[in-house]
Amino acid sequence: MSSTTAPPPAATTRHALDGRAIALMVGICMIWGAQQVVMKSVAGDVAPTMQLAIRFACSTLFFGTLVLRREGLRAFTDGTLPSGLLLGLCFAVEFIFVGEALVHTTAAHTVVFLYSAPIFTALGLQVVPEERLSRGQWLGIALAFIGIAVAFLGYSARPVAELITGDLLALCAGAVWGLSNVVLRRTRVSTASTAKIVLYQVATASLVLFSFSYANGESAVAPTGRAILALVFQTLVIAIATYQLWFWMLSHYLTSRLMLLSLLTPLFGVAAGVVLLGEPLEARFLVGSLLVLGGILVVNVRQIFNRSN
């Protein structure tokens, strides 16, 4: 039976964000923001799509070994395989859309529309009682997204038609990311261990992205020292450490609240560009950052206050 027709698993209690969750999420966002700078710095040696394919292939070996040692071959007979593969396909398609969007539009536009994902996630999870947002919290989401737009959208010399194409691709990436969170929350794969959830994602994505890279002629790899260091960072820190932490948090805290905090990622990305690449810091970025932080507080401050009492 397909995962889309099977009854959803029993509900698991997820909590509003506490201080620990916020601190962990801020750390994840800092690392995820830095990865864009790392990928860009070695794009001349390894195409971004190929970097992703290599990263996911190496992490597949790690998580595959971990899952097999813990559960053996029975790991994939627990009914999570169909929805796990669907989750992995969403993960792969999201990164394909991002890669193609960057060809047609600016990185800033791509980030803005990719991080529309919290809105799609919140819309998809309104059927889950504890995930439903109040009117005030929807205002917080709107405020945060406006902040992202203010911080990143700027003028460009590229043709308008090309920009629109890239923007639509990036928006599709955000929608698919939001869909993957709904799949994780509402299908049987949510009962799998954190390592197995990550394995479904990275294994499927590595196969799809390798195929896509070869089909597009983006498979060349120049094994320079900086390229190797970048790939090691992406594999060990991003694909292994932060992905495990991220999916553990998704299994313990409310998804829509975590996704809103993920809006900090592009802000840290720009900050990393300023520090590491010497990119200019504009006033609209500072204004946008304040709007994002305000939106996050609107959504989460009541839950944090209630937990502390």
Which helix or strand (DSSP H or E) is residue 255 part of?
A: helix 255-261
What sign does the CA torsion over 70, 72, 77, 83 have? positive
| Separation between Cα atoms, residue 230 and residue 292, nearest integer Å | 29
Higher pLDDT, 228 or 104: 228
Contact (CB, 8 A) for 204 and 89? yes
What is the identity of the amino acid at 246? W
Residue 103 has pLDDT above 80, yes or no: no
Largest CA distance in the chain: 58
Residue 2 has pLDDT above 80, yes or no: no
pLDDT of residue 156: 53
Q: Which of 24-38, 161-175, 196-210 bottoms out in mean pLDDT, i.e. has the lowest? A: 161-175
Mean pLDDT of 159-178: 81
Q: Measured in whole angstroms, how far is the alpha carbon of residue 70 from the centre of its chain?
A: 27
Total-model pTM: 0.74
Burial class (CB in 10 A: 0-12, 13-18, 19+), 268: buried
Place of tokens 């390798």: 210
Mean pLDDT of 74-80: 86
Give the range with max mean pLDDT: 140-144, 185-189, 292-296: 185-189
Contact (CB, 8 A) for 83 and 189? yes
pLDDT of residue 224: 93
If one counts every other C-beta atom within 10 angstroms of the C-beta of residue 7, the result is 8
Cα 33 to Cα 30, 49, 129, 192, 272, distances in angstroms? 5, 17, 31, 28, 7
What are residue 9's phi and psi, to 5 degrees? -65, 165
SS3 46: strand
Higher pLDDT, 219 or 126: 219
Mean pLDDT of 215-241: 92
pLDDT of residue 309: 40
Contact (CB, 8 A) for 144 and 133? no
- Tally the residues of the chain: 309
Mean pLDDT of 166-174: 84
Contact (CB, 8 A) for 25 and 258? yes
**Cβ neighbours for 270, distance < 8 A, ≥ 6 positions apart:** 33, 151, 152, 279, 281, 285
pLDDT of residue 301: 58
